[in-house]
Amino acid sequence: MSGYVKPEFVVLLIMMVPGVIGGWLAANRARNVVGWCILCALFPVFLLVIYFNKPLREVPGKFRQCPTCREFLKWRDTTCKYCGSDLPSGG
């Protein structure tokens, strides 16, 4: 182990920052975490794209997901407007 840090390693670390953020944003939106992580690491501008993507994951008080067809509905909906199945009570 030496104190010398390879430039490639530094670049990798710098690329990891938007990658991790992109992956985290993708996770919150039920997106492909690995795919967005790589995409944002290579092209940080995609952070904006994923940031402004509408959430695809259940967000308490805002969105819920139909367990039958996986479509996203408003939190207050009690019946899925896509497949017509009853939704379990969200509390």
Q: What is the DSSP letter of 89?
A: P
Kindly calculate the radius of gyration of the chain based on its CA atoms and give it in whole angstroms. Answer: 19
Rule CB under 5 A: is residue 79 a binding residue for Zn ion?
no
| Cβ proximity to Zn ion, 14 vs 69, nearer residue | 69
The pair of three-digit structure tokens given for residue 57, joined into one six-digit string: 């994951």
Among 69, 79, 86, 90, binds Zn ion (CB under 5 A): 69
Q: List binders of Zn ion among 2-61 (CB under 5 A).
A: none
| Residues that bind Zn ion in the complex, under the rule CB under 5 A | 66, 68-69, 80, 82-83
